[in-house]
């Protein structure tokens, strides 16, 4: 389950300025499709439409054949896990931030999620571990640490569909490799849409779409796109 389809989707925030000009693609169940393209191409807009923050002007978006226009937004949020570019954490403990949305999660599940996101060692180095408050009231986390908390939260929620808005370009290369490994782990076996800025970070995607000015201008796998330059 978890097949995502965009069918000739057109969208504009403002009628004079079309942003998506007929975008079609499918993410087969359990596969990874990456959208790459220059800034302003409309990549993030695609993910906003998938969450129904906006409705397409024409065309449709389906999940397992069902038009998402008929699906409640909270059901979509339950089915789709998002690791955003800039993770905003609650002004609460690290544990709360990982558990968010999964109140029933056990301590064992929490630790396993933290371990998979490679933050367990970091948490153990803190005096009160998971109970340590983040944000204004406590610990200042780096961008990479915040992103790991978001990844751990997503691992714990185990949604059938994932949207990864890649932000590894802002990280140093060591952190970037670690975050990339954690993201690869979360996406294994899940239907995954990756929004990426560089081709080099989506080597493992089953299909890569190049979006430019709201149109898919090329598609293929990593080797194929590199060969075409
Ligand atoms: P990308 O993710 O590829 O950088 P976006 O989807 O964020 O592109 O943006 C595509 C275009 O839509 C950009 O020109 C951007 O300025 C415009 N845009 C994005 N969000 C809004 C908005 N809320 N209102 C109006 N224009 C927007
Ligand atoms: P959860 O389902 O984990 O409780 P939310 O209901 O807050 O989380 O949001 C569902 C997903 O949508 C989250 O993963 C979140 O990152 C993403 N999201 C929420 N608000 C926005 C937004 N304004 N723009 C882009 N993504 C968002």
pLDDT tens digit sequence for 173-219: 778 888 888 888 888 889 999 998 888 778 889 999 999 999 999 99
% of the chain at pLDDT higher than 90: 61
**Rg for the chain (alpha carbons), in Å?**
18
pTM exceeds cut of 0.90: no
Residue range 17-27: average pLDDT? Answer: 97
Contacts of 9 (CB under 8 A, 6+ apart): 20, 22, 23, 24, 46, 49, 56, 58, 59, 60, 61
**Rounded-to-integer distance, Cα 139 and Cα 41, Å:** 36
Residue 88 is predicted with a pLDDT of: 87
Residue 112 CB burial class (10 angstroms; 0-12, 13-18, ≥19) = middle
Contacts of 180 (CB under 8 A, 6+ apart): 168, 201
pLDDT digits (tens, 9 = 90+) for 107-146: 999 999 999 998 998 899 898 899 999 988 788 888 888 9
Q: Is the shortest distance between the CB of 23 and ligand 1 below 6 Å?
A: no
pLDDT band at residue 229 using 50, 70 and 90 as cut-offs: low
Q: Is the shortest distance between the CB of 22 and ligand 2 below 6 Å?
A: no
- CA-closest residue to ligand 2 atom 25: 48
pLDDT digits (tens, 9 = 90+) for 57-103: 999 999 999 999 999 998 998 899 988 878 889 999 999 999 998 88
pLDDT for residue 169 is more than 70: no
How remote is the C-alpha of 174 from its chain's centroid? 21
Atom of ligand 1 nearest to the CA of 211: 3
Residue range 140-156: average pLDDT? Answer: 90
Q: Is the shortest distance between the CB of 41 and ligand 1 below 6 Å?
A: yes
Atom of ligand 1 nearest to the CA of 195: 2
């Amino acid at each position: 389950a978890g097949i995502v389809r965009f069918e000739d989707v057109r969208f504009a925030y403002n009628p004079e300025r079309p942003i998506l000009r007929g975008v079609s693609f499918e993410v087969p169940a359990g596969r990874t499709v990456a959208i790459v393209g220059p800034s302003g191409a409309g990549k993030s807009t695609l993910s906003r439409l998938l969450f129904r923050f906006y409705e397409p002007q024409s065309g449709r978006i389906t999940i397992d054949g069902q038009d998402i226009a008929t699906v409640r937004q909270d059901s979509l949020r339950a089915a789709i896990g998002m690791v955003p570019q800039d993770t905003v954490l609650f002004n609460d403990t690290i544990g709360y931030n990982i558990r968010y949305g999964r109140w029933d999660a056990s301590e064992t599940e929490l630790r396993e999620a933290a371990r998979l996101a490679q933050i367990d060692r970091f948490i153990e180095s803190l005096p009160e571990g998971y109970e340590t408050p983040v944000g204004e009231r406590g610990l200042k986390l780096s961008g990479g640490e915040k992103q790991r908390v978001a990844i751990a939260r997503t691992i714990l929620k185990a949604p059938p569909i994932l949207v990864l808005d890649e932000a590894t370009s802002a990280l140093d290369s060591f952190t970037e490799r670690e975050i990339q490994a954690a993201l690869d782990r979360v996406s294994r076996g899940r239907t995954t849409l990756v929004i990426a800025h560089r081709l080099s970070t989506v080597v493992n995607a089953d299909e890569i779409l190049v979006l430019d000015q709201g149109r898919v201008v090329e598609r293929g796998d990593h080797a194929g796109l590199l060969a075409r330059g």
